[in-house]
Structure formats: structure tokens, C-alpha cells
């Protein structure tokens, strides 16, 4: 029973180790994908040398990258600790198997010696024929057979111990190799972090020199954003007012909420249940360069942003895509922000702005992932391609980063 208990414990430990290994592999793949996206975004932003705002975007990306690297180093530390514990366990198991094998070999050698000394072939025959009667002879033959079986069993146990020992030795070699690779990766990430921090300091010094120009650019952006936000709010208010006049719609749960039909209520609940699982609002990889809400920048006290959504830098030619099924409730233009598409999902709305080309029409039923239009490519700003994305629940603004998955 105790052997079964020990076996189950070892099985659980090995399974946990396998799960942890799969986990670090997944984290590693995700990190490589993030680094590729960041590299592509930085290349695009670096092409626009005239814009101080592009430098600020680079600073934002770099800050996020530093945070990501720090988190990855922490993850590597956790993995190193797990692997060290696993190595200690493996080494103890190896030593114990080696000890058991040594004991078995000594016992077997002693057994063979005793058998050879006491029971040579002539002795075996003498041992059998010297019995007092036939029954005793039969018992002595059975004893010798049992002794031979025991001998073979001992030899088989030694062979099995040798196989187990060799397997454990291979496991140890693999674990030590993994440990070395993790140590090398850990050092490489620390070197990367050091370079990223140095780059951040240099970028910060450049931004300080351009602070007045940067503030002027951000002021223009705030004016454009205010016009866009005002128009979105007016559209939502008008849709809410019209819905409240239709008799077949149920009364909203909250004052000022959107009155929904039965189908819209089902859609709305479905949307709400997908928080954190919604697809990325682009059909190409992208990097968030402006986060939701107010953002302050270290040592740039007079520089701050306050975005009602997120800005995503992507590749030229990328298209916005619906993050969930719904109905196109509005398509409109704002000078400087190009075209915008609003998709309604019951009481939830998603807004896709800065589109250079729109592929849908008012009233269209769209599916999850359906392309809505191409993101505007600003050739005067080094082919800068940025989607502005917002989310609402009734009239309340939501942080899209909490709702969508990374690409």
C-alpha cells in the first residue's frame, strides 16, 4: 500500500513538472510574439522622425516592454526555483536507487557464494537422496526449485533497478541541461533589460528637449479626440432616446440605459460573458501605443494623455474587424480622425475610428471577426497606421484592454 502511495505522489509530481514545462513554453512563445510586434511598431514609428508624438509612442511601448521583460524574468526565476526543487528530488531518487542496487548486488553475490559453497551439483543430488523418505525428498526438490526461483527473482530485480537507475540518470542530465538553458536565458533577459532601460533614459532625454513641441502636438490630438468623443456621445444618446420610444423593447435596467428587444438582451448577455475573450480588433498584429484613461510619464511632468479608448499601431494595409457579432448602428466622419464605425451588441457598443476605407453599411449584421474597413495610412507621418478603438456599456466607457485578447 505504501509503495502505491509513493508511486502516486511521484506521478503527481511528474505531471506537475510536465504542466509547468508546458506553461513556460507557452509563456516563451507569447513573449517572442510580443517582441516581434514591438519591433514592427518601433520600426514604423522610427520612420517618422519629425513627430515628437511618435517618440512618445516609442517611450510608451518601451515602458511596456520593460515591464514585460521584468515580468518574464520573474517567471524565469519561478521556473528556476521549480527546476531546482525537481533536480534535488531527482538527485535524491538517483542516490536512493543507486544504494538499493548496491544492496541488491551485495545480497545476490552473497547468495551465489552460499549456493556455490553449499550446494554443488553432487551436493544437490546427495541432499535429495539422503532424505529419510520419498515425501522428504519431494519437499527437498521443491525447496531447491523455490531457491532457484528466488535466485532468478533477485537477478531480475537487479536488472530492473539498473534500468530504473539509467532512466533516472538520463532524467538528471536532461534537467541539468534545462537548468543551464534557463540560466543562459535569464542572463540574456537581464542584458536585454539593461539595454532597454538605457534606451528609455536616452529617449526620455530627447523628449525633455522636445517637450514644448510634444505638448503642442498632443493639444491638437486632444481637440480631435474631443470632437470625436462628443459626436459618439451624441449618437449614443440619440439611439438610446429612439429605443425608449419603441413599445416592443423592455425598459432598461438602469436610468439612461438602452431599451432592448429580447434578441438584443440575449446578445448583450452573451457579449458580457466574453469579457477578456474578445478577439483583437485588427486582422493584423498591433501594439497599443496609447492606453485607456489618464497616462502620466515619469520625469515629463507637463506631459500627459487622457484617452477614452486605446490607440493601436499596426501595419499598413491592416483592417479593423468586429470583436463580436452585432449590428452596424452608425457610420460617420470626423475631420482629422477619418471614418468611424459603431457596432451595437445589445447594450454594449464598440467603436472603430480612423478608418480610411469602410466595407460595411448602416444596418448590416456583422459576425465576430468580420472586416469593417481598412485603417487609414498616414503617408505624411511615415505611413503611420493607427486604429482608435473604444467600448461602451450603455453610456459608460469601458477599458478595452480588460475585454480583448492580445493578437
Judge whether 218 lies within some domain.
no
**Integer Cα distance of 71 and 174 in angstroms:** 26
Grid cell for residue 282:
485588427
User: Do 181 and 310 belong to one domain?
Assistant: no
User: Do 158 and 267 belong to one domain?
Assistant: no
pLDDT the model gives residue 11? 37
Yes or no: say if 147 and 115 are a contact pair by the CB < 8 Å rule: yes
Name the phi and psi angles at 34, rounded to 5.
Answer: -65, -45
Judge whether 217 lies within some domain.
no
Q: How far is CA 280 from CA 218, 283, 322, 387, in A?
A: 26, 8, 9, 11
Of 42-51, 60-69, 173-182, minimum mean pLDDT range: 42-51
User: Do 38 and 163 belong to one domain?
Assistant: yes
Of 97-106, 190-199, 383-392, minimum mean pLDDT range: 97-106
Q: Considering 186, 209, 232, which residue would you say is the last residue of a domain?
A: 209
CB within 8 A of 211, min separation 6: which ones?
Answer: 300, 302, 303
Q: Give the confidence band of 394 by pLDDT, cuts at 50, 70, 90.
A: very high
Yes or no: say if 319 and 283 are a contact pair by the CB < 8 Å rule: yes
Judge whether 233 lies within some domain.
yes
User: Do 97 and 234 belong to one domain?
Assistant: no
Grid cell for residue 244:
425608449
pLDDT the model gives residue 18? 41
For 180, the domain range is 2-209
User: Do 130 and 235 belong to one domain?
Assistant: no
> What share of the chain has pLDDT > 90, as a percent?
35
For residue 291, the domain's CATH number is 2.70.70.10
The count of domains in the chain is: 2
User: Do 74 and 193 belong to one domain?
Assistant: yes
User: Do 172 and 267 belong to one domain?
Assistant: no
Predicted TM-score (pTM) above 0.85: no
User: Do 34 and 82 belong to one domain?
Assistant: yes
pLDDT tens digit string along 301-328? Answer: 777 788 999 999 998 999 999 999 999 9
User: Do 199 and 239 belong to one domain?
Assistant: no
pLDDT tens digit string along 7-17? Answer: 333 433 343 44
User: Do 362 and 279 belong to one domain?
Assistant: yes
Q: Considering 183, 209, 235, which residue would you say is the last residue of a domain?
A: 209
Amino acid at each position: 500500500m505504501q509503495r502505491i502511495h509513493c508511486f502516486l505522489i511521484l506521478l503527481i509530481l511528474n505531471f506537475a513538472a510536465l504542466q509547468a514545462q508546458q506553461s513556460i513554453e507557452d509563456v516563451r512563445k507569447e513573449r517572442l510574439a510580443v517582441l516581434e510586434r514591438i519591433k514592427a511598431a518601433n520600426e514604423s514609428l522610427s520612420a517618422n522622425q519629425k513627430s515628437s508624438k511618435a517618440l512618445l509612442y516609442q517611450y510608451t511601448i518601451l515602458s511596456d516592454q520593460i515591464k514585460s521583460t521584468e515580468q518574464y524574468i520573474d517567471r524565469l526565476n519561478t521556473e528556476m526555483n521549480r527546476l531546482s526543487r525537481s533536480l534535488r528530488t531527482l538527485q535524491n531518487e538517483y542516490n536512493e536507487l543507486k544504494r538499493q542496487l548496491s544492496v541488491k548486488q551485495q545480497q545476490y553475490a552473497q547468495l551465489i557464494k552460499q549456493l556455490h559453497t553449499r550446494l554443488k551439483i553432487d551436493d544437490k543430488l546427495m541432499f535429495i537422496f539422503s532424505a529419510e523418505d520419498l515425501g522428504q525428498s519431494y519437499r527437498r526438490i521443491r525447496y531447491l526449485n523455490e531457491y532457484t526461483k528466488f535466485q532468478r527473482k533477485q537477478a531480475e530485480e537487479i536488472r530492473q533497478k539498473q534500468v530504473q537507475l539509467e532512466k533516472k540518470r538520463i532524467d538528471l542530465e536532461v534537467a541539468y541541461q534545462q537548468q543551464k538553458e534557463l540560466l543562459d536565458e535569464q542572463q540574456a533577459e537581464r542584458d536585454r533589460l539593461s539595454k532597454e532601460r538605457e534606451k528609455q533614459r536616452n529617449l526620455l532625454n530627447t523628449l525633455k528637449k522636445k517637450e514644448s513641441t510634444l505638448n503642442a502636438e498632443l493639444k491638437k490630438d486632444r481637440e480631435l479626440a474631443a470632437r470625436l468623443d462628443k459626436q459618439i456621445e451624441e449618437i449614443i444618446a440619440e439611439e438610446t432616446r429612439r429605443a425608449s420610444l419603441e413599445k416592443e423593447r423592455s425598459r432598461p435596467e438602469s436610468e439612461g440605459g438602452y431599451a432592448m428587444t429580447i434578441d438584443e438582451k440575449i446578445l448583450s448577455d452573451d457579449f458580457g460573458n466574453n469579457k477578456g475573450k474578445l478577439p483583437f480588433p485588427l486582422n493584423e498584429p498591433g501594439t497599443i501605443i496609447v492606453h485607456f484613461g489618464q497616462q502620466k510619464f515619469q520625469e515629463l511632468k507637463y506631459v500627459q494623455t487622457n484617452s477614452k479608448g486605446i490607440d493601436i499601431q499596426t501595419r499598413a494595409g491592416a483592417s479593423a474587424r468586429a470583436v463580436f457579432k452585432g449590428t452596424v448602428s452608425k457610420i460617420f466622419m470626423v475631420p482629422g480622425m477619418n471614418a468611424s464605425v459603431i457596432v451595437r451588441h445589445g447594450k454594449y457598443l464598440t467603436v472603430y475610428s480612423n478608418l480610411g476605407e469602410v466595407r460595411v453599411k448602416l444596418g448590416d449584421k456583422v459576425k465576430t471577426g468580420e472586416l469593417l474597413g481598412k485603417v487609414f495610412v498616414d503617408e505624411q507621418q511615415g505611413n503611420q497606421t493607427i486604429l482608435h478603438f473604444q467600448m461602451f456599456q450603455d453610456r459608460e466607457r469601458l477599458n478595452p484592454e480588460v475585454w480583448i485578447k492580445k493578437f
